Amino acid sequence: MVGRKKVSGKIIVLIILIIGTIWAGFPIFWMIDNSFKPNAEIFAKPPIWFSKSFNFEAYAKIFQNPTEIRFFLNSYLVTACVVVLTLVIGLLAAYSFSRFDFPGKKVINTIIVAVQAVPPITLLIPYLSLIVAIKLYNTLFALILTYLVTTLPYCILMMTGYFNTIPKSLDEAVKIDGGSTWTALWKILVPTAVPGMVSVGMYTFMNAWNEYLFALALTKTNDMRTVPVGINLLMGQHAYEWNQMMAMSVLGSLPVLVLFLIFQKYFIAGMTAGAVKN
Amino acid sequence: MRYNRFSKAMTYGLAGAMALGLGVGGTAFAGETEASAPASDVTLEFQQWWGVELPDGALDEICKGFTDKTGIKIETLSNPYADTKTQIAAGAAAGTMADVVGLDGSWVYDFAKQGAIANLSDLMKADSYDDSQLSDQIKYEGSTYMIPVVNFAYPLYYNKDILDKAGVTEVPSTWTEFLDACQKIKDNTDAAGYCIPLNTEAPNGIQNQFSSWVWASGGSLLKDGKPSLTDNETLTKVTELFKTMYDKGYLSSGVEAMKEQDMVNEFENGRLAFMVDGISHLTTITKESPDINFDYAKMPVMDGFTGKSGMDVANWGIGIAENCEHKTEAMQFVEYLMSPEINAKLAQLANAFPGNSNAKPDYSSNDERFQKAYEFFNEGYAINEFTGAPTAEDLMRSFNEQLVLFLDGDTSSSADALSAIQGEWQSVYGS
Amino acid sequence: MSNTRFKWDKKGRRRIGISYAYLAPTLILMVILLMVPIIMVIRYSFFDNVIVNKNPVFVGLQNYKTVLTDKKFWEAVGHTLYFVIVSIIAHMIIGMAFALVLNTRYLSSTTKGIFRVLFALPWMFTASVIAILWRMLLDPNGVLNFFIQALHLSKQQVLFLASRDVALRSVTLINIWSGYPFYMISILAGLQGVSTDIYEASALDGANSVQTFLHVTIPSIKPILISLIMLDFVWTLQQFALIWMTTGGGPVNATETVSTYIYKYAFTKYQYSIASTGAVILLIVCTIIGIFYVKRQIAEE
């Protein structure tokens, strides 16, 4: 009985893995595959699965172009600052929302939810005027602030959610032992919520890394441009430079993949449960 | 006690973050353009999409020629067309437009109305510039706001191999011949006859792949500068021609979602026999698909039409930002680009026709097909009724939507479709 | 009225002070960088054609009347609702299924690691790349149509983006593909917080896996699920880049959503006031959602 249940469970898992692999993987396989094809082969009938003109020229081209390297440096710098600042500021706010009750909490919380609703495109013009007025136009700092303020609400809401799953008794215990709220946050809540921080961090990274509209409008010169704007440079009026676009996307996502792999261990079931027990 | 420690930590944290921010914003991150330049050496920013389409480094070299002559530095900010448009539109609203900007004829009205681009008539007068050498000037309320630097013609491209395979021996010169050729192509090949990109993101298909047929047969969309879409014989017939092509399956499948790039892609891959497209694509098509055997032809005209044909042109126009602090120097740069010698060079590089009527480009090194297109251009007249029109892109979009409804059979007659567009256009022109 | 909830003695005030101190950096940033532009947008919505007109005139609620009586606006609302609701449901199902699979005991941690990365891949690309990729896949001559014809699912090419009947579904599909990893990763993170003890207790009670899922897993990660749904709602509501770059809101207006509607007003009709009005309407809708969310949260406490 138990054995049969286990087998059927395994089969379901296997089926989902196969479907998931096709669903997530095929479009990406196709994109990478096409990046190695000459233009004429892309829509060939029947499809050409493996092109004969396979090479890594596109990657080499990026590394030889100082402007494009600059795009990457800018993007990495902006994104790293945004992830760190969002997490730090967001954790503090989430802690306040999760563990305190104070007048205005409802209002602030509602505002945090609602402000995300305004399509960024409509904010663009007043926001641009504001950035010009505070003399940050065409600086990376403007981009950092922009992404910070757009990812913060998400970080706060999600981290509040994660903190709420952690029993209050744990940080109460710290306080009984004479620790401050500050200690409770960093010693108990933060270590327990690491998987949540990893997921929020990934989200923040992706948002800051892929944002295009503000990156285009808030900067003017190539030395302040980021990767998405660079990718669009490869989409000319008539032809797509597929291989280079792909190469830039892959190179852009590598750091987050690496970080994700490093933090993988926090996703191992039971680990946090153990921490809670102790 | 505890509270104190906490607030201390907070203060340090905030101060640290701010110091980081300020340091970063003030020094390392500041754009190179922000460096304060001595008043004597002026740097002009020149924002356009031309640099992306010209051979690598060509535009910078032309700008360098100006710097060598005048000492005024030019910083080129080159981005693709759509990005340039977004940046200029945002810059127009926030006052951050670059000093000198590349403009499309269809944007002029809106930016001039907003007061975002400078009145060039005044600047030319101040400089006592002889504007009779300019082949065209785009005006708003009687004053010039854009000067076309070079012009691109939109001839008919055709794929010789597909026509051979289909058994079409003569390139069609009338609509009947054209429809006949399309039928043969449909019967004997896998290719489509014609294509019109109708994606609503960029509705230029109405201008370049639809209206070009109207203009080629001497027709017009406007009368005395106002929309005249109803009781317009040529336009009605062109609209019905497209319906015939659509119903008989001569058009590429999925035109409703296609963009211009997709159409060019179809042509490059030998799946499209005819297309109307800018000559600027000559080089890229030759480079991307050396195997495609194509040539230019005159646009087929309505049966019985014998007059002069209008040829659709698009241009790289230039304007000066109202917020530019060095308008005199900017005008000098515009005059430099328009000078016969430089203008000829730019036209030659871009596979375009010069905006200065005295410029004599040397096209001998260009593709011979280009020279053929140049002949067609000289035989007819240049026309683009969307240049300088109010909210031109929106006009095209409303036309696009009604055309799709008509092609799909939702609108029962071409007269209904056109009067619906007339209504929408009038509300724009009326205000 | 609600002030009775707070103690205004010295200790109470200090506690309120602490909670605001934690919030301070967030509040400063949001007030300067978000509230100021939002207030400007709200202001625009009460004026006649701002930005283009040098001296805009106050017109009261005229712009709201224009937008709310526009048939095209309501069509856009309908499309948006379809797009948002279908996206959220699909995101939730796919994200949950993948997260549960990646959390089972049946797989080794290396296998889990590999699939975790594989399934998260759609997240890695900027919207313009996703748009081009899917336009290529869904092309009448594209690879998907090749499979459809090879498997004899349809005789004719399926015009995924060009047909007015299918376009909205296609665009929604693209959005589902690009958005589910965010659910998957977030739920996975939430599942780590569920103590294994609870599962063991539930297994001892003789509960089967479906019962465990419904009575143990879901309630444990409920705060995260609710946050996810609400955030996804708010974001999908204003999803712009994907739709704009695949169909531009067309054919005709088959995929026109509120955000493309707003964009067209702002950047091709240059009527920023109307565009701002549309934005304010979205803001109001989301404020209402925000209020419900917060009410729920407080009720739970």
Mind giving me the DSSP string for B152-202? EE--EEEEHHHHHHHT--S---BHHHHHHHHHHHHHH-SSBSB-----TTS
Instruction: Tell me how close the Cα of C276 comes to any Cα of chain A, in angstroms.
Output: 6
The mean pLDDT of B264-282, rounded to a whole number, is 90
pLDDT (0 to 100) of residue B17: 45
pLDDT (0 to 100) of residue B27: 39
B254 assigned to some structural domain: yes
* Contact at CB, C223 and A161, closer than 8 angstroms: yes
Instruction: Tell me how close the Cα of A74 comes to any Cα of chain B, in angstroms.
Output: 9
CA distance A81 to A144: 7
Lowest mean pLDDT among A265-274, C116-125, C223-232: A265-274
Instruction: Tell me how close the Cα of B135 comes to any Cα of chain A, in angstroms.
Output: 26
Q: Which residues contact A149 (CB under 8 A, 6 or more apart)?
A: C29, C30, C33, C34
Instruction: Tell me how close the Cα of B111 comes to any Cα of chain C, in angstroms.
Output: 8
Question: Is the minimum CB–CB distance between C193 and chain B shorter than 8 Å?
Answer: no
Q: Per residue in B284-339, pLDDT tens?
A: 888 878 889 999 999 999 999 999 999 999 989 999 999 999 999 999 999 999 99
Q: Per residue in C176-210, pLDDT tens?
A: 999 999 899 889 888 877 766 777 777 777 777 78
pLDDT (0 to 100) of residue C221: 87
pLDDT at C49 over 50: yes
Nearest residue of C to residue A7, measured between CA atoms: C106
The mean pLDDT of B416-424, rounded to a whole number, is 96
Instruction: Report the half-sphere exposure of A248 (CA within 13 A, side-chain side).
Output: 31
Cβ A58 vs Cβ A243: under 8 Å: yes
The mean pLDDT of B259-272, rounded to a whole number, is 89
Residue B115: which of C54, C139, C253 has the nearest Cβ? Answer: C54
B·C CB contacts under 8 A: 97
Six-digit token string for C45: 């919505």
Residue A116: closest CA among C35, B235, B428, B52: C35
Q: Per residue in B24-53, pLDDT tens?
A: 433 334 444 444 444 448 999 999 999 888
Domains of chain A by residue range: 1-54, 57-277
* Contact at CB, B202 and C139, closer than 8 angstroms: no
B28 assigned to some structural domain: no
Question: Is the minimum CB–CB distance between C126 and chain B shorter than 8 Å?
Answer: no
The mean pLDDT of C134-163, rounded to a whole number, is 90
Report long-range pairs for B342-351 (Cβ below 8 Å, ≥24 apart). B342/B62, B342/B65, B343/B149, B343/B150, B345/B62, B346/B62, B346/B149, B346/B150, B347/B150, B349/B54, B349/B55, B349/B58, B350/B50, B350/B53, B350/B54, B350/B150, B350/B152, B350/B280, B350/B316, B351/B152, B351/B279, B351/B280, B351/B282, B351/B283
Put simply, whether the predicted model's pTM sits higher than 0.90 gets the answer no
CA distance B298 to B301: 9
Question: Is the minimum CB–CB distance between C31 and chain A shorter than 8 Å?
Answer: no
Mutation for A interface: B7, B96, B266, most A CBs within 10 A: B96
- With a pLDDT cut of 70, the percent of chain A lying above it is 88
What amino acid is encoded at A37 in this protein?
K
- How far from the centroid of its chain's Cα atoms is residue B113's Cα? 20
pLDDT (0 to 100) of residue A238: 58
Q: Which residues contact A213 (CB under 8 A, 6 or more apart)?
A: A120, A121, A124, B86, C241
Residue C113: which of A109, A127, A261 has the nearest Cβ? Answer: A261
Six-digit token string for A186: 């960093």
pLDDT (0 to 100) of residue B325: 93
Q: What is the CATH number of domain A57-277?
A: 1.10.3720.10
Question: Is the minimum CB–CB distance between C248 and chain B shorter than 8 Å?
Answer: yes
Q: Which of residues 84-103 of C touch A (CB under 8 A)?
A: 94, 97-98, 101-103
Q: Per residue in B222-235, pLDDT tens?
A: 999 899 999 999 99
In whole numbers, what is the pLDDT of chain B averaged over residues? Answer: 88
pLDDT (0 to 100) of residue A188: 82
Chain B residues with CB under 8 Å of A236 CB are: 52-53, 80, 284
* Contact at CB, A162 and C224, closer than 8 angstroms: yes
Residue C34: which of A25, A115, A270 has the nearest Cβ? Answer: A115
Name B383's bridge partners. Answer: B312
Instruction: Tell me how close the Cα of C153 comes to any Cα of chain B, in angstroms.
Output: 18
Q: Per residue in B163-178, pLDDT tens?
A: 999 999 999 999 999 9
Q: Containing H/E element for B94? A: helix B81-94
Q: Band of the pLDDT at A236, cuts 50, 70, 90? A: low
Question: Is the minimum CB–CB distance between B5 and chain C shorter than 8 Å?
Answer: no
CA distance A169 to A199: 25
What amino acid is encoded at A26 in this protein?
F
CA distances from C301 to A106, A188, A230, C195 (A): 13, 20, 48, 20
Q: Is the peptide bond before C251 cis (omega within 30 degrees of 0)?
A: yes
A·C CB contacts under 8 A: 325
In whole numbers, what is the pLDDT of chain A averaged over residues? Answer: 82
pLDDT (0 to 100) of residue B253: 92
Domain count across chain B: 2
Instruction: Tell me how close the Cα of B231 comes to any Cα of chain A, in angstroms.
Output: 36
Cβ C29 vs Cβ A148: under 8 Å: yes
The one-character DSSP state at B117 is B
The one-character DSSP state at B207 is I
Based on the domain organization, do B276 and B421 belong to the same domain? yes
Chain B residues with CB under 8 Å of C54 CB are: 115
The mean pLDDT of C288-296, rounded to a whole number, is 82
Cβ B180 vs Cβ B172: under 8 Å: yes
User: Between these two residues, B55 and B165, which has the higher pLDDT value?
Assistant: B165
Q: In what order do the strands lie in the sheet with B294-297?
A: B274-276, B156-159, B294-297
Cβ C297 vs Cβ C225: under 8 Å: no
Chain A residues with CB under 8 Å of C298 CB are: 106
What amino acid is encoded at C62 in this protein?
Q
CA distances from B154 to B126, B314, B316, B384 (A): 36, 8, 14, 11
Nearest residue of A to residue B33, measured between CA atoms: A221
In whole numbers, what is the pLDDT of chain C averaged over residues? Answer: 87
Chain A residues with CB under 8 Å of C25 CB are: 89, 92-93
Cβ C279 vs Cβ C287: under 8 Å: no
Chain B residues with CB under 8 Å of C269 CB are: 391, 394
- Say whether B37 sits in a helix, a strand or coil: coil
Residue C161: which of B3, B89, B257 has the nearest Cβ? Answer: B257
pLDDT (0 to 100) of residue A272: 45
pLDDT at B55 over 60: yes
Based on the domain organization, do B43 and B120 belong to the same domain? yes
Residue B253: which of C22, C159, C268 has the nearest Cβ? Answer: C159
Mutation for A interface: B1, B7, B22, B29, most A CBs within 10 A: B29
Environment class of B141 (CB within 10 Å of its CB; exposed 0-12, middle 13-18, buried 19+): exposed
Q: Which fold has domain C62-300?
A: MetI-like fold (1.10.3720)
pLDDT at B7 over 60: no
Instruction: Tell me how close the Cα of A223 comes to any Cα of chain B, in angstroms.
Output: 7
Q: Per residue in A169-226, pLDDT tens?
A: 888 888 788 778 888 888 888 888 888 898 888 889 888 988 888 998 898 888 899 9
Chain B residues with CB under 8 Å of A143 CB are: none
Six-digit token string for C150: 């090879």
* Contact at CB, C223 and A125, closer than 8 angstroms: no
Chain B residues with CB under 8 Å of A121 CB are: none
pLDDT at B152 over 80: yes
The mean pLDDT of C153-167, rounded to a whole number, is 91
pLDDT (0 to 100) of residue C209: 76
Residue B94: which of A132, A140, A181 has the nearest Cβ? Answer: A132
Residue A132: which of B6, B95, B261 has the nearest Cβ? Answer: B95
CA distance C277 to A122: 10
Domains of chain C by residue range: 62-300
Q: Band of the pLDDT at B239, cuts 50, 70, 90? A: very high
Question: Is the minimum CB–CB distance between C25 and chain B shorter than 8 Å?
Answer: yes
Count CB-CB contacts under 10 A for residue A241. 18
The mean pLDDT of C157-177, rounded to a whole number, is 95
CA distance B90 to A243: 31
Chain B neighbours, 3+ Cβ pairs < 8 A: A, C
CA distance C239 to C244: 9
pLDDT (0 to 100) of residue B125: 94
pLDDT at B21 over 80: no
- With a pLDDT cut of 70, the percent of chain C lying above it is 97
* Contact at CB, B199 and C21, closer than 8 angstroms: no
User: Between these two residues, C297 and C23, which has the higher pLDDT value?
Assistant: C23
Please give, one letter per residue, the 3-state secondary structure of B236-305.
Answer: HHHHHHHHHHHHCCCECCCHHHCCHHHHHHHHHCCCECEEECCCCHHHHHHHHCCCCCEEEECCCECCCC
Question: Is the minimum CB–CB distance between A85 and chain B shorter than 8 Å?
Answer: yes
Chain B residues with CB under 8 Å of C161 CB are: 254, 256-257
pLDDT (0 to 100) of residue B430: 81
β-strand B294-297 against B226-227: which pairing, if any? Answer: unpaired
Q: Per residue in B395-410, pLDDT tens?
A: 999 999 999 999 999 9
What's the CATH number where B350 sits? Answer: 3.40.190.10
Residue C269: which of B3, B252, B394 has the nearest Cβ? Answer: B394
Instruction: Tell me how close the Cα of A24 comes to any Cα of chain B, in angstroms.
Output: 24
Residue C121: closest CA among A147, A228, A246: A246
CA distance A5 to C239: 42
Nearest residue of C to residue A180, measured between CA atoms: C18
* Contact at CB, B33 and A221, closer than 8 angstroms: yes
* Contact at CB, C101 and A125, closer than 8 angstroms: no
* Contact at CB, B254 and C139, closer than 8 angstroms: yes
Q: Band of the pLDDT at B139, cuts 50, 70, 90? A: very high
Chain C residues with CB under 8 Å of B425 CB are: none
pLDDT (0 to 100) of residue B56: 82
DSSP string computed for chain A:
-HHHHHHHHHHHHHHHHHHHIIIIIHHHHHHHHHHTS-GGGTT-SSPPSS-S----HHHHHHHH-HHHHHHHHHHHHHHHHHHHHHHHHHHHHHHHHHH---TTHHHHHHHHHHGGGS-HHHHHHHHHHHHHHTT-TTBHHHHHHHHHHHHHHHHHHHHHHHHHHS-HHHHHHHHHTT--HHHIIIIIIHHHTHHHHHHHHHHHHHHHHH--HHHHHH--SGGG--HHHHHHHTB-SS-B-HHHHHHHHHHHHHHHHHHHHHHGGGGSTTHHHHHHH-
Six-digit token string for A37: 């094809």
CA distance B330 to B321: 9
CA distance B245 to B196: 11
pLDDT (0 to 100) of residue A26: 94
* Contact at CB, B17 and A219, closer than 8 angstroms: no
Q: Per residue in A84-138, pLDDT tens?
A: 999 999 999 999 998 888 888 888 988 888 887 677 877 888 898 899 989 999 9
pLDDT at A18 over 90: yes
Report long-range pairs for C59-65 (Cβ below 8 Å, ≥24 apart). C59/C273, C63/C273, C63/C274, C63/C276, C63/C277, C64/C277, C64/C281
Which ipTM was obtained for this model?
A: 0.85
Residue B264: closest CA among A240, A71, A267: A240
* Contact at CB, B14 and C25, closer than 8 angstroms: yes
Chain A residues with CB under 8 Å of C285 CB are: 117
pLDDT at B388 over 80: yes
Chain C neighbours, 3+ Cβ pairs < 8 A: A, B
Q: Containing H/E element for B147? A: strand B143-153
Q: Which residues contact C160 (CB under 8 A, 6 or more apart)?
A: B257, C138, C144, C166, C167, C170
Based on the domain organization, do B80 and B137 belong to the same domain? yes
Question: Is the minimum CB–CB distance between A239 and chain B shorter than 8 Å?
Answer: yes
Six-digit token string for B252: 């590429």
**Burial call C39-63: b when 16+ CB within 10 Å, e when fewer:** ebbebbbbbebbbbeeebeebeebb
A·B CB contacts under 8 A: 122
B2 assigned to some structural domain: no
The mean pLDDT of A70-79, rounded to a whole number, is 92
Q: Per residue in C92-134, pLDDT tens?
A: 999 999 999 988 878 887 888 889 889 988 887 888 889 988 9
Supply φ then ψ for residue B272, to 5 degrees: -140, 130
- How wide is the angle at C-alpha C248 spanned by C-alphas C243 and C251, nearest 5°? 110
List the domain range (segments joined by +) for residue B261. 156-297+390-430
Residue C242: closest CA among C94, C92, C95, C84: C84
